[in-house]
Chain A
């Protein structure tokens, strides 16, 4: 097991590696805002535990195990940061809070949040919980909250009755990235996937 501070180190090392920077002791110390001497101590400890290898005068490299931990923590950090700012926290606070939370979030919670965030790559100013129409499952209903996209796309969608406040039900979703079949205002419509992703809905039921 790793503790919080060794996770911080491994995360920092992974981030540096990702950016293609050199991972010398001084660079790591600067990245984490700690004194070089304490960095040296910690890196030695991590090397003993098999998370990294030290190379005299060239700094350190992560072992496969170290890399796994580092990548995992960094991913949790990014997911949490995105999640928190979607809840309305200002970016700097979201970053700081994510630094704390990243060590305490179980993996399954992280995946669940991640999946939710992916499902709703949302434009700004939408009610929370909205997702594109393409995110609804077959048989699921939603209330249209907004139309995004170009003028003519919006006009075509609205003209066919997909206006904000209307209830839609996804009846079918065709293969090959095909269209959706919708029930709206008592009639059935086929709507191409591209157009459907411009309609944002709040799931109901």
Chain B
């Protein structure tokens, strides 16, 4: 008996893979009704009958080619790390598409157990799958499950452990691609058997015929002859069938999948109950106002309710900050405790509720429809419709938004959508807009600033699109059927997103708070303000104290407002003109992705690009602020 068993979960997006992962490990993990979300492999550990079982959740993908990072990660993991068993989660309600992935997985020759999930959903659709028959067709164990209800999970784990320990022999079928292809595969095999790449020779041969660049490079190092020969063979096949060899092989796999699916399932189609809802939400005209209305009311609800909760929270936490400051000095009090609490007062009332509501929409399948509707518009910004989803996340906090951009397939798309995400008015920025402009100048102006932000996203996005080299990539995503959101999953996922904020952002916020409090204690803030005054006073027309507050804003945007109130007193209208308020808010919104966002940026796109983005945004904010101030003063606001 092995001391440790490694299990990998693999399968299409949106089949309940992550729900199974959660059942196994109890670890909190991203789950959702949004294809292709889990890009990183999540790991967890469980104890099963005296064994330690490590579980790895691979990203949800449809294929094992290397178009996207997720596909690459998965195939390298399965072939390179060689887990003891791979659990392939298969959606019983769309068997054919799922088996297409299963066939590719089997070619990599790991030990496979199939989890036939969502059998209940399938039955509601009128699809009845016979697991025994499927087992015979594939040659690997098949366990029916209903993951959201926890059904079948235990036997799945049992079976997986049996297979991993070799107590249950599996004999996966080798599926044939037809005479012409098989003949060519056979003559490539001798060249590949000695290649020592870690991948099975037959898989290498098939991938070479498909013209897979990655595999060509891999094999080219040891056997250039094989690559050359395979190239010749694919041209022959193309001549024979009139299709690209990769299309040909994919067609073969799909028709195999079709055959297996139709042998092991009985279909008595029943009309989907959600058809009318679907028709309405993707309506070419009504769909848009519906989307806008839903999102707007979501934001309004969160900020209206959140504003109240925030007030209460601040009242509660203030004595704590004061108390610590008095006893342990301002460094500990305002720096550590204040920073921590200020973080909480934005997360609890705004970010977390926003994510819960948004995740509800997502898990129901609505956001995928949103991406469908927005694709045309997003293309003007050089990215496709999927980017709409991370952008929405940005309204809560830019950090999870940046991390969410991993669903984009290519590097170029990722960079563009990360850039756009940093411009989305997050909860902190909204607090500043509402608390300063909304409160003292008027709600109309606050809304205007919001619109200005949207316009800026559009303009800067287009600019970045023009500058960024490379071809835009088209949208292709599965639209999952509508379903009732699974509440535990939604809560776990909302927490996951909020957690991004804590893990990535909080250390920076705390560190920054400490530095700034230290600066203040050392009396260095005033000289700094003076240093900045040509910019703040001369160009932006703000009072000199604004310099310090903007420095604080580097940590978190809403600190600008908090600091301003601290330095000038609660009634800001005594000290600032309306034009100054609007200018201040504008600069705050645009001038720098806060440290936490910068950290996320660096993680996602690297130092160099992050600095470019930060510099561009600072310059843009200063330019816009100066222009705004002059225009508003001229207009006599």
Contacts and interface: CB of A to CB of B under 8 A. Distances in A.
Given A161-B254, A190-B371, A175 B284 contact: yes
A13 B56 CA distance: 76
Interface string B227-267: 00000000000000011101100110011001000000000
A178 B475 CA distance: 10
B377 A181 contact: no
B376 A176 contact: yes
Nearest to B283: A172
Nearest to A195: B474
A174 B372 contact: yes
Contacts of B617: none
A121 interface: no
Interface string A168-205: 00001111111101000111111111111000000000
* Max chain A Cβ within 10 angstroms of own Cβ: one of B254, B476, B478: B476
A160 B254 CA distance: 10
B251 A163 contact: yes
Contact of A179 (B65, B243, B475): B475
Contacts of B472: 194
Interface stretch (B94-102, B137-145, B598-606): B94-102
Interface stretch (A25-33, A100-108, A151-159): A151-159
Nearest to B104: A159
A176 B285 CA distance: 11
Nearest to A162: B476
B372 A154 contact: no
Interface residues of A, number: 39
Contact of B384 (A125, A177, A181, A192): A192
B338 interface: no
B244 A154 contact: yes
B376 A187 contact: no
B67 interface: yes
A156 B247 contact: no
B211 interface: yes
B481 A191 contact: no
B239 to A, nearest CB: 12
Given A173-B284, A176-B377, A185 B94 contact: yes
A2 interface: no
B368 interface: yes
A194 B474 contact: yes
B13 to A, nearest CB: 11
A155 B246 contact: yes
B94 A186 contact: yes
Interface string B539-554: 0000000000000000
A127 B96 CA distance: 27
Contact of A157 (B258, B476, B478): B476
B62 interface: yes
Interface in B466-509: 472, 474-481
Interface in B264-308: 282, 284-285, 288
B379 interface: yes
A166 interface: yes
Given A161-B97, A163-B254, A189 B375 contact: no
A103 B552 CA distance: 80
Given A151-B246, A190-B477, A174 B254 contact: no
B385 interface: yes
B63 interface: yes
Contacts of B377: 176, 178
B476 A189 contact: yes
A192 B251 contact: no
A178 to B, nearest CB: 3
A174 B388 CA distance: 15
A155 B476 contact: no
Contacts of A153: 474
A192 B375 contact: yes
A50 interface: no
A176 B472 CA distance: 17
Contacts of B65: 155, 159
B249 to A, nearest CB: 9
Nearest to B91: A187
A164 to B, nearest CB: 6
Contact of B379 (A165, A181, A189, A192): A192
A146 interface: yes
Contact of A185 (B67, B96, B250, B368): B96
A190 B96 contact: no
A186 B96 contact: yes
Contacts of B251: 158, 163-165
B385 A192 contact: yes
A10 interface: no
B12 to A, nearest CB: 10
Contact of A159 (B62, B243, B376): B62
Contact of B478 (A155, A175, A189, A195): A189
Interface in B193-249: 210-211, 242-244, 246-247
A154 B97 contact: no
B150 to A, nearest CB: 26
Nearest to A173: B284
Given A159-B65, A176-B376, A186-B97, A191 B250 contact: no
Contacts of A194: 472, 474
Contacts of A147: 243-244, 247
Contacts of B477: 189-190
Contacts of B372: 172, 174, 178-179, 181, 190
Nearest to B288: A175
Contact of B368 (A155, A173, A190, A196): A190
B224 to A, nearest CB: 21
Contacts of A188: 478-481
A156 B475 contact: no
Contact of A155 (B96, B250, B288): B250
Contacts of A174: 282, 284, 372-373, 375-376
Nearest to B258: A185
A146 B251 CA distance: 11
B250 A158 contact: yes
A125 B242 CA distance: 9
Cβ-closest 10 pairs across A and B: A176-B376, A178-B376, A192-B474, A195-B474, A159-B63, A192-B475, A158-B250, A163-B251, A188-B479, A190-B372
Given A178-B385, A185-B97, 10 more contacts: A146-B242, A152-B67, A154-B244, A156-B476, A161-B100, A174-B376, A178-B372, A179-B385, A187-B94, A190-B477
30 contacts: A154-B244, A154-B246, A155-B63, A155-B65, A155-B250, A158-B247, A159-B65, A164-B247, A174-B372, A174-B375, A175-B288, A175-B376, A176-B376, A178-B375, A178-B377, A179-B375, A181-B479, A185-B94, A185-B96, A185-B254, A186-B95, A186-B96, A190-B371, A190-B372, A190-B385, A190-B475, A193-B376, A194-B474, A195-B475, A195-B476
